[in-house]
Amino acid sequence: MGQTPADGDRDIEYTMRLQRFLARAGVASRRGSENLMTAGRVRVNGQVVTELGSKVVPDRDVVTVDGVECHLADEHAYVMLYKPAGYVTTMSDPQGRPCVASLVPTDRYPGLFPVGRLDTDTTGLLLFTTNGDVANAMLHPSSHVWKHYVALVRGVPSRHQLQMLRDGVRMPDGVAAPAKAQLLAADDPAALPVAPEGVPYNHAVVSLSIHEGRKHQVKKMLRSIGHEVVRLHRDEFGPLRLSGLMPGQWRPLTAQERSAVESQAPRNNTKREVG
């Protein structure tokens, strides 16, 4: 496992951190792969490996998770899903709730996993991939990947309240980073996903862009200025914009979209030691 190659092989063999190998094989994100390792579910050449610094030679070592052999994918998969309400963002659920996994082609693209989460009642753009590097890059706080939401809220936020969001509103778990916030007109097409039958009396639709990813963040931010979220929809995630889909439908990313999301992560280094 991860031995130094003989001199004559140094130009064709390289080592890779095990959690990076698992992520690139589409098993899970790199953090999820680390959890698999520490849980004792990963074996290399038949031996359980729990040490996070462990390395493998991808072309030689046999890596298994729960007894299933893992291989580096020739090409990563990227799928955009229009998540409908009522689905939890997990690939399986012990409580038997509907999962987004049932909406995407896991048989065609083994190893797909969602990049981030949307609440069960939140609709909109959800990215799936087999590329753990891209997933980590798009979710890491240092990347400042913007996400755009539209929210139907009770009441009509004032200019002052919208400015609070732009300045960085105080929430129960700390101050949010400054957001981009504005009211949408009732007839704005962007409002349709949360107000398909029109905006009810004494309600409003707020456009909100954030680059943080705290749990229930948008709902907390709007609640902190005194407006409860009735419906929430995400239509942009980093360089991606939800298009060409109805709720529950998926499609592969276009070549341009694929290039855009891959540009979020550092290019893979294929020297003798990788990761």
The catalytic site residues sit at: 119
What does the DSSP assignment read for 203-253?
A: EEEEEEEE----TTHHHHHHHHTT--EEEEEEEEETTEE--S--TT-EEEP
* CB 180 within 8 Å of CB 169: no
What is the DSSP-derived secondary structure letter of residue 140? S
Beta bridge partners of 42: 65
Q: Which residues contact 128 (CB under 8 A, 6 or more apart)?
A: 77, 78, 79, 80, 81, 104, 109, 112, 113, 114, 115, 250
C-alpha span between 148 and 221 (Å, rounded): 14
Q: Which residues contact 271 (CB under 8 A, 6 or more apart)?
A: 14
